Structure 1
């Protein structure tokens, strides 16, 4: 059933879709290599969408439309707002890099980026298995094309093929799992699935064994989208092979959407099976922390190191989802709010990290090796400072926001009260200590090694301004994290309530 409320719920998606099509058509008349008009129009679109979703989120209202298949709630709208802002920053950082490599022709970077954001929005809003899956496919199909955007680069083409094959396999896992859950519960709507599972055998159309087996496939598909062990094989190869601006587009905003569908499917749809999926997530988290941190130490390529870092960081985030136990609403809101805070701050830090890498890359030179950062402080104390702040934050050094994010997850685990949760917290601390090595190694290279490059670092005013704000936010949100943490906790609390 489509009524006026349905259109209100979908306004951000409708606006984004219409403007993406308009930008694709108008770009046909743009001839400049930097695609100035397309770039400005894309940024204006994203600013309007971010303001619109931010207003929706600030209102605190939860609205449903299209027969209950789409929802507009505070958690979803805040994630949409943050994703739109992350895409703005990605376009600002990646424009010059992409133009130097002839990746802006046809405006494909901007239109595919906007289509991928639309996929994220649909995923975040989905209250129905089909809606969530359609959004996921729109995001991943755009991602495959973006990775292969540099057609003359064999490494990028190889990465796109690996991403496509493994992504198709993971999508099959997720779709097969969702079909089994549908077979067991008789519904595609998350609310009906939740009621059927909570009602027990009397309301299940199939056996409990079919439901749990479907849950295994769903968790496997979600684990691939998050890039956690043992479904992490694509992450280092795609991060390394893709052009750096595309690596940022894949490693930034989509993490917010991946977190959203984990919450939608596991918490909103299958909370009654929490004891089952939390055990699976605990195994994935422990394996990701161990493999991600140990493998990152051995990397000399900067993008591969950050890829393994991402695997470890997502493992740390999963620990917060494991911490939400029982029927205590406050405990669950604290745990899942900590997970949301962790993902948002991780994306913020990742943007700053890749912003500096993109800045150091120039025409004919990729700043991809750890050695390429040698002596960066001698060339530009500002950019070295931003990179150092991001590295310290990822390592969890106070008073930066990464420290508070890790602390919030550890507090949620300890609040679980069981020896299992406390053991996970101790393990996470030990893995963070190991992870600090490769983050601090970069700081050492920037400040104490002799500069290997002497060419001046050129950047537009927009890049310098956004990068400075990015670095400042990582510091400021670490000193005063209360506002963002409260926002995340309230958004998740309204969802659980």
Structure 2
């Protein structure tokens, strides 16, 4: 029988599941083009879930429930709150786009988005291999369906097939790695796995063999090289609203399971998995930045940009354990958390502008489609420019501070190798600045392709303006969010 504490800890997930099922049933009677009732219920659900997660996070407690299979801690609750907000903003931006492309014939966009968020919540809360994998599969299966939502579009169908095949392979990698760890340690619970590894009684070769497959599965979810092949194709082929859904909130969940599995479950093997992560990080920075230069398709360029940005996140994860000490862990992991949260914030605003332009009857996917945007709409050109400068790491925007915190964590380790990595990351970021600045040049200095002004519904305009403003404000005043990330990581490590 379930105890009251377990139900209390799972309250956000229970609310999300109940409302997802209810909205799916209620939507059967909705006939309006914009699915107003379905949309309103979805927004209310996401607001309620976010409020619950923030309440739990502010309590600052670490609680284990369901026999230790689920954990509620500040790190997980903040990431769940940010993920819920990211999905909410995505649906605000994406609803007009989806309606124009007949993607709202049913309420699948809303219900599948809620189920994918439920999968993220389960992943983030998991303290057991099976729970984490269950959440991962719920997220990925919902994502496959969302990518193929435009059933009459060949590009979307092709992207969904590629995503499905490669995603199934990556899930197999992760499951095989987890099964190896289970066979070696005799437990599925992260805490018991940690203790078994730390005891030193298990053959190191067996542990590392399983670890390789786990890191490969995580690398796929993060979109890191050499498991990045799906990212450009899915970003380009999927409907833009779905591209934003896949490229924002799931990154938070992928970061969470990296922390759960590698840090909370396998910290005694840190010297092994950190070496793997460093290779993934440098490869992602190199391939992402160089390949993005050659792109003319805006969504494909942003896909390679994502790969490069994830390289920075992985760098932070790879520097927490130095010379047998975890003294640098809080700085390194909080820097990575800050980076992934601010990256998602910037991505939301970037794709918000792209979705806005795509409503004019064509897919605003080419960089040239932004030509002369400043003359047509200075506000949206300004928001896009702020996002591009932030992704490039130009001060005083939040992207600069995010990069700086990761570089500081590298330097703070005191290792010559890590300092060298910081130098390499800076050099590759300078290369990456080229393709971001090219977008700004096209918007401000090229002649517009059309004289029509850009219009947006009031809710989209308000949220997009706030989104762009936060990219600037959090760059000037990053202390609050950085302190939040540091406190969440510290409490989780202590718990």
Could you state the TM-score of these two structures normalised by the residue count of structure 2? 0.99
Deviation track 1:318-355 (CA, whole Å, cap 9, x = no partner) reads 11111112354441011000000000000000000000
Match of 1:445 among 437, 442, 448: 442
Match of 1:412 in 2: 409
Structure 2 match to 1:82: 82
Structure 2: which 5+ runs fail to align? none
Of 99-108 and 112-121, more deviation after overlay is shown by: 99-108
CA distance in 1, matches of 2:110, 2:260: 28
Q: What corresponds to 1:46 in structure 2?
A: 46
- CA deviation after TM superposition for structure 1 residue 2, in Å: 3.0
1:229 aligned to 2:225?
yes
Q: Is the 8 A contact 1:100 1:363 kept in 2?
A: no
Conserved in 2, the CA contact under 8 Å of 1:119 and 1:139?
A: yes
Q: What is the alpha-carbon distance in structure 2 between the residues aligned to residue 469 and residue 47 of structure 1?
A: 17
On the 8 A contact 1:2/1:67 being kept in 2, the answer is no
Residue equivalent to 2:73: 73
The separation in 2 between residues aligned to 1:3 and 1:143, in whole angstroms, is: 33
- Secondary structure of the residue aligned to 2:454 is coil
The equivalent of 2:237 in structure 1 is: 241
Are 1:284 and 1:315, in contact at CA under 8 Å, matched by a contact in 2?
A: yes
Would you say 1:495 and 2:480 are equivalent positions? no
Pairing 1:354-369 to 2, within 5 Å after superposition: 354-362=351-359, 364-369=361-366
Q: Is residue 243 of structure 2 the alignment partner of residue 281 of structure 1? A: no
Does 2:445 correspond to 1:468? no
* Residues 281, 311 of structure 2: 8 Å contact kept: yes
- 1:208 and 1:407 map into 2 onto residues whose CA distance is 36
User: By how many angstroms is 1:471 displaced?
Assistant: 0.4
Cα RMSD, aligned residues only: 0.8
Matched-pair contact (CA < 8 Å) for 1:151–1:157: yes
Residues 126-169 of structure 1 deviation map (CA, whole Å, 9 limit, x = unaligned): 00000000000000000000000000000000000000000000
Q: Distance between the aligned counterparts of 1:364 and 1:375, measured in 2?
A: 18
Please report how far the alpha carbon of residue 200 of structure 1 lies from its aligned counterpart in structure 2 after TM superposition.
Answer: 0.4
C-alpha deviation, 1:209, in angstroms: 1.0
Separation of aligned partners in 2, 1:398 and 1:88: 28
8 Å CA contact retained: 2:321, 2:327 = no
1:424 aligns to 2:421 (yes or no): yes
Quote the offset at 1:208 in angstroms.
2.0
CA distance in 2: counterparts of 1:421 and 1:453, whole angstroms: 49
Contact preservation (8 Å) 1:318, 1:339: yes
Partner of 2:137: 137
| SS class of match (1:105) | coil
Distance 1:328 1:195 in 2: 17
Q: Does 1:394 align with 2:416?
A: no
**C-alpha displacement at 1:364, in angstroms?**
3.4
Give the equivalent residue in structure 1 for 2:100. 100
Q: How does 1:179-218 map to 2 (within 5 A)?
A: 179-201=179-201, 204=202, 207-218=203-214
Structure 1: tracts of 5 or more residues without a match = none
Q: Deviations over 1:363-383 (max 9, x none)?
A: 530000000000000000000
* Matched position secondary structure for 2:264: helix
Answer whether contact 2:320 2:327 (CA < 8 A) is retained: no
Residues of 1 paired with 2:28 and 2:107: CA distance? 8
Q: Who is 1:385 aligned against?
A: 382
Counterpart Cα distance in 1 of 2:211 and 2:326: 23
Residues 334 and 489 in structure 2, CA contact (< 8 A), matched pair in contact too: yes
Whole-angstrom distance in 2 between the partners of 1:449 and 1:64: 57
Aligned-partner Cα distance in 2 for 1:115–1:395: 33
> Could you say which residue in structure 1 is the equivalent of 2:336?
339
**1:434 pairs with 2:441:** no
Q: Please point out which of 456, 463, 468 is paired with 2:453.
A: 456
Q: Give distance in 1, aligned partners of 2:270 and 2:191.
A: 16
- Name the CA distance, whole Å, in 2 between partners of 1:73 and 1:362: 41
2:483 corresponds in structure 1 to 486
C-alpha distance after superposition, 1:249-293 (max 9, x if no partner):
000100000000000000000000000000000000000000000
Alignment of 1:298-309 (within 5 A): 298-309=294-305
Following the alignment from structure 2 to structure 1, what is the Cα–Cα distance between the partners of residues 485 and 50? 17
Q: CA offsets per residue over residues 73-122 of structure 1, 9 Å max, x none?
A: 00000000000000110000000000001111210000000000000000
For residues 141 and 480 of structure 2, the distance between their equivalents in structure 1, rounded to whole angstroms, comes to 36
| Residue in 2 that maps onto 1:259 | 255
Q: Distance in 2 between matches of 1:158 and 1:409?
A: 37
| CA–CA separation in structure 1 for the residues paired with 2:270 and 2:18 | 39
Superposed counterparts of 1:110-189, under 5 Å:
110-189=110-189
More displaced stretch, 165-174 vs 450-459: 450-459
Structure 2 CA distance for aligned equivalents of residues 463 and 329 of structure 1: 44
